[in-house]
Amino acid sequence: MKKIAVALLAGTAILGAQAVAAPKTKVPPEPQTVSQVCSQCHGDRGISTSPIFPNLAAQNEQYLVRELHNFRDRKRDDPHAQAYMWGMANRLTDEVIDKVANYFSALPPPPPDLGQNPKEIAAGKEIFEKGIASEQVPACQLCHGPTGAGSATIPRLAGQHREYLATQLLAFRDNERQNMIMHSNVAHMTDQQVRDISAYLSSL
Ligand code: HEC
Ligand code: HEC
């Protein structure tokens, strides 16, 4: 009896270990473009080297493809897009864009930034979940999902760098990054509300 119980336990332990070790999605090999070019700023594993460069790890594949086309076609034309990404995307073929997007989307998500101010996090959570009725700001989770993971062409926001998020929100607000949906969402947000929501999202 005892032997069987031990064997069963050992079997369960092995099964358990395998279940934990198995990645959710299979990460394809790192494309050469990433190791030679993109990794300088976005990191080999999609965790960027500066908070003004977005993390790309676990970002949604369709969103990545669309943004790379937008940079290449010069449709996304905020100042950092022009300065950093136009030249990069110019050289990419459709095939390489698909490969790179597939790679980054399959990586494990960025770790939460635990250094944010708890007051800002609490205020940001409120905006994310409920919006701000008096300023016509909708609840962000309606589109970006309750955990900020987004889906398809709606970007993941969870674990993104605070600085990058705030820059994008101000760019949408001031129409530097042109997007009708996001412009109307944030048109009435104050600078402090932008700081709050960015702190909250980077802490996820
Ligand atoms: C010199 C630094 C640098 C390099 C190298 C670089 N990027 Fe970027 N990337 C940036 C910056 C800065 C932004 C933010 C642009 C903005 O603010 O609009 C960005 C934005 C992006 C975005 C949009 C992400 C989002 O959340 O909207 C994608 C996708 C991207 N880069 C992919 C790539 C790929 C693929 C390569 C390699 C071919 C690459 N980048 C090389 C700096 C860089
Ligand atoms: C009606 C749907 C919708 C709602 C509600 C919404 N968003 Fe978005 N958001 C989008 C879409 C679509 C994009 C992609 C825009 C693009 O392609 O340029 C986006 C992009 C973004 C980005 C850019 C991310 C990146 O990686 O560059 C940020 C930041 C963002 N949203 C924050 C917010 C916040 C904060 C709220 C709540 C105040 C919010 N969104 C509410 C649809 C929405």
Residue 150 contacts by C-beta under 8 Å, 6 or more apart in sequence? 60, 63, 143, 144, 156, 157
Tell me whether the CATH fold assigned to 32-106 matches the one assigned to 118-202. Answer: yes
With the C-alpha atoms ordered 162, 163, 167, 170, is the resulting torsion angle positive or negative? positive
- Tell me which residues have their CB closer than 6 angstroms to ligand 1: 33, 37-38, 40-42, 52-54, 56, 59, 64, 67-68, 78, 80-81, 84-85, 88, 92, 100, 155, 167
Whole-angstrom distance between the N-terminal and C-terminal Cα of the chain?
47
What pLDDT, in 10s, does the model give residues 79-111?
999 999 999 999 999 999 999 999 999 999 999
CB 183 within 8 A of CB 172: yes
CATH no. for 118-202: 1.10.760.10
Query: Phi, psi (5° rounding) for residue 67?
Result: -65, -40
pLDDT at 20 over 90: no
Take atom 13 of ligand 1 and give the residue whose Cα is closest: 53
- Residue 24's pLDDT band (cuts 50, 70, 90): low
How far does residue 85's CA lie from ligand 1's centre (Å)?
5
pTM: 0.91
CATH 3.40.50.10480 holds for 32-106:
no
Q: Give the Cα separation of 66 and 115 in Å (integer).
A: 32
| Ligand 1 probe mutation, 48, 77, 80, 85, most atoms within 8 A of CB | 85
What pLDDT, in 10s, does the model give residues 103-132?
999 999 999 999 999 999 999 999 999 999
Within a 10 A sphere around the Cβ of 182, how many other Cβ atoms? 17
Q: Give the Cα separation of 173 and 171 in Å (integer).
A: 5
- Which ligand is nearest to the Cα of residue 126, counting in written order? 2
CB 163 within 8 A of CB 156: no
Within a 10 A sphere around the Cβ of 173, how many other Cβ atoms? 20
Q: Give the Cα separation of 29 and 156 in Å (integer).
A: 22
Take atom 23 of ligand 2 and give the residue whose Cα is closest: 168
Distance of CA 162 to the CA centre of its chain: 11
How far does residue 189's CA lie from ligand 2's centre (Å)?
13
Domain ranges of the chain: 32-106, 118-202
pLDDT at 7 over 60: no
The residue type of 131 is G
Q: Give the Cα separation of 198 and 121 in Å (integer).
A: 8
Distance of CA 163 to the CA centre of its chain: 13
Take atom 40 of ligand 2 and give the residue whose Cα is closest: 140
- Residue 2's pLDDT band (cuts 50, 70, 90): very low
